[in-house]
Structure 1
Amino acid sequence: MTQKDILEEHCFYCFDVLLAHLENKMLPKATFDDSSYPLFVTWHSKWHGQRELRGCIGNFNPMHLRKGLQQYALTSALQDRRFTPIGLPEVPFLDCAVSLLTHFEKAADYLDWEIGIHGIWIEFSLRDDDDDDDAGNIKFTKAMTTATYLPEVMAEQGWTKEEAIDSLLRKGGYRRHITEAKRQSIVLTRYQSQKITRTYADYRTHYALDA
């Protein structure tokens, strides 16, 4: 993937999708190439003054861009369980980021990635080895779960690699004390992305809506 594969039109299309849904209007036709990528859509808002995350959801399976952006523009805006759904009055305060993911690689261990370059996707068990009884029988069903952070998250938060991993374990639902053995048990995949962000003001300027 090259830098030209990520376009500001991808962000503007997400605004089209969200506004068409909120205003119950017909969605304008997309004009960009419909190649397939794993992708994420992220919304931030300054509705309450400070810029705050309002939704971030995506898919690691390649999807055609038009269908993928349609789906995740709405899913991230309306169905991210961490936040209340975005409503029409908030739209002027939004910015939208689209991330196209590439270069997926299995890491040698949980530290085999670089802050500011890689996103990380981890798979781990919610149970620990000491959940077995004295006879070695598992006391309850082994539950595997996953969690991810996009490449920009770790740098924005100022985390070390260990802090990022521990935060991901919590994000994925692990509530016990985090040991080095637990970190070592993680299966980590690193990846890269091309990202572009545009505001609602950019959207209106692009389509000359204020002319």
Structure 2
Amino acid sequence: MVGANKEMAVYCFDTLVAHYTGDVVPDPGFEEGQFPLFVTWKKVLNGGEPRLRGCIGTLEARCLITGFKDYALTSALQDRRFPPIQAREIPYLECTVSLLTDYESATSYLDWEIGKHGMILEFTDPESVRRSATYLPEIAAQEGWTKIETVDSLVRKAGYMGPLTESMRCKFRITRYQSSLCTMHYSEYATYVKHIRGSAPLLTVKC
């Protein structure tokens, strides 16, 4: 079974670097396949906690090569929560690639495990608007949330800002899933590229 690996993170960095340098993206070093996937970019400054700079993916299976190439740029440049990542930020970036697996229907909004499961939440709000949102498996643990706090935050992420009641939560449709992931900082990427290709990446921005 294919799992997330450093070659996928390298390919995402290659894609983002090439976007600014105008170079051709090197061929990926991982095998083809079909998976739902996400690309997450975080920025690390002065040894502090990584700060999210973009996270976008797909819950439907995609070709891994085109999927990572597309979402490396989409998450870096088109996440509406953040301004686009600039070339000067790249040396401070951390990239996490995620492959999603083991989709299951939960029996209730509490039928999942923190740190193990991601969730797709679907519901119809009191105004009859259908809403949905997802959190990857690592989010609840990273934030230190309880199950209810996680679900309620996911409801807000879906765009519903009205009151939340237990009866409403009991009507939520939850699909839980697991993931394999790999995280790489730019410094690791640069070292890897120098070792494999003979020279470190050059961040010379195209005109």
Q: TM-score, normalised by structure 2?
A: 0.91
TM-superposed deviation, 1:26: 1.3
Match of 2:14 among 10, 13, 16: 16
Which consecutive unaligned segments of at least 5 residues does structure 2 have? 202-207
CA distance in structure 2 between the aligned counterparts of 1:48 and 1:8, rounded to whole angstroms: 24
Match of 1:46 among 28, 44, 47: 44
Structure 2 residue 157 is matched with structure 1 residue 171: yes
Structure 2 residue 147 is matched with structure 1 residue 149: no
The equivalent residue for 1:94 is: 93
Q: How does 1:79-118 map to 2 (within 5 A)?
A: 79-118=78-117
CA distance in structure 2 between the aligned counterparts of 1:153 and 1:161, rounded to whole angstroms: 11
CA distance in structure 2 between the aligned counterparts of 1:205 and 1:183, rounded to whole angstroms: 48
TM-superposed deviation, 1:15: 0.3
CA distance in structure 2 between the aligned counterparts of 1:24 and 1:178, rounded to whole angstroms: 49
The equivalent residue for 2:192 is: 206
| 3-state SS in 1 of match to 2:138 | helix
TM-superposed deviation, 1:29: 1.3
Taking only the aligned residue pairs, the percentage that are identical comes to 47
The one-character-per-residue Cα deviations of 1:80-124 (angstroms, maximum 9, x if unpaired) are 000000010000000100000000000001000011110011001
Whether the 8 Å CA contact 2:121–2:133 is kept in 1: the answer is yes
CA distance in structure 1 between the aligned counterparts of 2:192 and 2:104, rounded to whole angstroms: 37
- Cα distance change, pair 24–48 in 1 and its aligned pair in 2 (3 A): farther
Q: How many residues align?
A: 196
Aligned AA for 1:23? T
TM-superposed deviation, 1:31: 2.7
Whether the 8 Å CA contact 1:101–1:194 is kept in 2: the answer is yes
Aligned AA for 2:58? N
The one-character-per-residue Cα deviations of 1:33-77 (angstroms, maximum 9, x if unpaired) are 011110000000024763200000110111111000001000100
Whether the 8 Å CA contact 2:8–2:29 is kept in 1: the answer is no
CA distance in structure 2 between the aligned counterparts of 1:176 and 1:47, rounded to whole angstroms: 36
The equivalent residue for 1:34 is: 32
CA distance in structure 2 between the aligned counterparts of 1:70 and 1:196, rounded to whole angstroms: 16
Structure 2 residue 60 is matched with structure 1 residue 61: yes
Whether the 8 Å CA contact 1:154–1:160 is kept in 2: the answer is yes
The equivalent residue for 1:185 is: 171
Whether the 8 Å CA contact 1:47–1:90 is kept in 2: the answer is no
CA distance in structure 2 between the aligned counterparts of 1:202 and 1:56, rounded to whole angstroms: 20
Aligned AA for 1:124? F
The equivalent residue for 1:122 is: 121
Aligned AA for 1:73? A
The equivalent residue for 2:180 is: 194
